[in-house]
Structure 1
Amino acid sequence: MQTSMLRLVALVTARYNWQRDEVSIGQAELSGLWGVTDRTVKREIKRLIESGYLIRTREGVKGRVAAYRLNHHFIAQVSQGCASSIGSDFAARVQSQRPVEQEQPKVLQLAEFVDRQQNRKIPENGTPWSQVCSLLKSRDPANYANWYSRLDGTAEGVTLVLEAQGGFLSGYVATHLADTLEQATRDALGPEWSVSIRRT
């Protein structure tokens, strides 16, 4: 555990944001800071959390690093025996620490998620895009809820211009759903219509 404590001290000294009371750091950066492998980083973070010294406040996912907070109350508890020898100010701080209640993440049940997705509204009635949406929702409600309903559509002549927010959405629609969109547009509006997908 002594090695873990030294690594924790290095992490806090180098990267801890005291104003926000957290440290936000990626696995690769931690690996470089500690001079260890990614596997050791995972094991060390798990040990520090399970032993009570760290609290994970945000999971690390693709494109976003994890965030951690010092468990001040626990650290104060394990420091009580030597607090007075460190100094009166530190001892007073230890005595003032109280447990921090961690907010439990809200778990969205699958049925609730599906219900929300399937109840996405069709755009304003009467527009070319609303007519296409009605057809898409009746033919393929799952893809309508997950993909088509996230698009904004406007007509430019006989071209249905679909705007997608972000590269992932526009790329997925163009790669996987373009043919279905073209067919639904022709079926709903006429054979002369075409589709253009734009990223916003």
Structure 2
Amino acid sequence: MLMTKAVGRGAAARKYDILTALGAHALAGGRTEQVLALRLMTLITARYNWGRDELAVGQREIARLWSVDERTVKREMAKLRGRGWLELSRAGARGRVAEYRLGIERLLADTRPEWDRVGPDFAHRLEGSEDDGKVVPLPIRGEVPPPDLSAGTEWALAQAVLHAEAPGPYASWLRALERAGRSGGRLTLVAPSRFHAAYVQTHLATRLLAACRSVDDDITEVAVIATT
């Protein structure tokens, strides 16, 4: 069966397989992909608790490990959550850091094209097989494509978080919102209609603000207005 956790019998070897898959994926990509993968690999190696399937480390410590500032940590962690490579298991609170777990299924799905570069034995080991010899397929996320992160804005990063953690509301309501501007802590988004804007403000405002604050804690308000 396809592994979803690196725990139990054979866990030590599977940990190295996950890191190898990430490394091969990074080396086949561009600089941005390489940096993101290297940061995750370093975080996994240094701080991941495999026994509890948990990553619990503060932004200040991550910043020191990555040799960056805490704002960069926030953005990179949002990208990792948006990819589904890290999943938030418990939100941070006063005196308590956020806790994450590896999204191993998503991570393996994204790195799969590079498995054969390592070797057929490696690919076979990660895929696993049923008694009849058929390869077990990896689960595929819904048809809604992930947002484009190239703009690097707080809204692009927040969309990635929403796509990963709330795919239903994202596909139906949040994907259509566009960034209109930023004034201090107020982020303004534009909806395609008044009804759309009203629905988001009524039913999804808390989730929307939480996602935006998870990538930029200077945001204190998210306003949704209509184009028509």
- TM-score (norm. length: structure 1): 0.46
Give the number of the structure whose alpha-carbon radius of gyration is greater: 1
